[in-house]
């Protein structure tokens, strides 16, 4: 049984940084792309970043471009989201995701979600 599990969320001051991790458990396949989303209270789930196999060709939403960095380590089946210069509006539940391609993930086509981890940014 394959599952994704996020970790690394928490409370941080505005301007601070957090690094989220997403571990994959069970068998997965190299062609799967990985991505990150978030959902703030009362808002729709928002695509943040995606990356293909081999830690290449990242894609970022405009809202996080230049502040967040996605990476992956296929040997450990772990995907990361480094978040810098955090703002109160970044407060949300953050989810990692798996899909057939970065483009597909960016459109919301996801075949597997993690359970989410809270990130709260205080002003």
Per-residue pLDDT tens listing for the chain (123 residues): 899 999 999 999 999 999 999 999 988 776 789 999 999 999 999 999 999 987 678 999 999 999 999 999 988 889 999 999 999 999 999 999 999 999 999 999 999 999 999 999 999
DSSP lists the bridge partners of residue 24 as: 4
pLDDT given at position 54: 78
72-99 b/e with 16+ CB inside 10 Å = b?
A: beeeebbbbbebeebeeebbbbbbbbbb
């Amino acid at each position: 049984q394959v599952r994704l599990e996020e970790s690394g969320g928490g409370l941080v001051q505005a301007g601070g940084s957090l690094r989220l991790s997403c571990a994959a458990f069970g068998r997965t396949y190299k062609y799967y792309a990985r991505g990150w989303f978030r959902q703030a209270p009362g808002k729709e789930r928002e695509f943040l970043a995606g990356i293909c196999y081999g830690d290449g060709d990242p894609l970022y939403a405009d809202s996080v471009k230049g502040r967040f960095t996605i990476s992956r380590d296929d040997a450990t089946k772990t995907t990361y989201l480094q978040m810098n210069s955090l703002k109160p509006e970044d407060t949300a539940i953050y989810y990692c995701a798996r899909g057939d391609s970065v483009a597909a993930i960016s459109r919301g086509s996801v075949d597997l979600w993690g359970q989410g981890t809270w990130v709260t940014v205080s002003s």
